[in-house]
Structure 1
């Protein structure tokens, strides 16, 4: 199973919107597990906060950052974008 990480923060409308749209997809059907990391949460390594502080939301697939996703992509468009990212990651 592939690991999709969403680097996010509380109160970030783009982060919350992307998380919601990702959760609406059938990620398990693509063998993808979504993990959300709040970069401001206590216990989050300082280097993650420093790296993503001005960049969230950021997606990483199996440790590799993905291109920035358009906030306008929803449903099938987001699914197609994710599938293209998967095919180039192979």
Structure 2
């Protein structure tokens, strides 16, 4: 049960740039028009941790390319054998959820990219 719950924690970029954590199911149901990103990762993955930090920084940026309506759900692949088989050699893997609920894997973001470039790439992915 705890593993399933940890796989469902989601990151919400609030409009004021503050971070709030909550279960993705409650966030998704209360705000159906929000965009959703899924980050497949696992504990101890330095690339995953680095991408999470860059994503958090990108969500905090304001302006016309703001990502304040995006929910980032982090999924620990070690909690689900299907995710582990699919992504064990490719993490971190970032996917966006399409309007039909299906996930679309996004191109890998280089850890060398600036936060501003990551923000622009994510905005473009949702366009």
Category of TM-score, reference length = shorter chain: 0.7 to 0.9
Q: Give SS of 2:75's match.
A: strand
CA distance in 1 between partners of 2:122 and 2:68 (Å)? 9
For this pair of structures, how many residues does the alignment match?
A: 84
Deviant stretches of 4+, over 3 Å: 27-30
Stretches of structure 2 that go unaligned for 5 or more consecutive residues are: 1-33, 61-65, 98-102
Pair 1:34 & 2:41 matched:
no
* CA deviations over 1:47-67 (Å, ceiling 9, x no partner): 111000000000010011111
Give the equivalent residue in structure 2 for 1:65: 105
For the 8 Å contact 2:38–2:95, the answer to whether it is kept is: yes
CA distance in 2 between partners of 1:66 and 1:29 (Å)? 16
Pair 1:50 & 2:85 matched:
yes
State the TM-score, normalized to the length of structure 2.
0.61
Q: Which has the larger radius of gyration?
A: 2
RMSD: 1.6
Give the equivalent residue in structure 2 for 1:24: 57
Q: 1:30 offset after TM fit, Å?
A: 4.2
Higher relative contact order (CA 8 A, sep 6+): 1
* CA deviations over 1:15-64 (Å, ceiling 9, x no partner): 00000111112277442100111111xxx321111000000000010011
For the 8 Å contact 2:39–2:73, the answer to whether it is kept is: yes
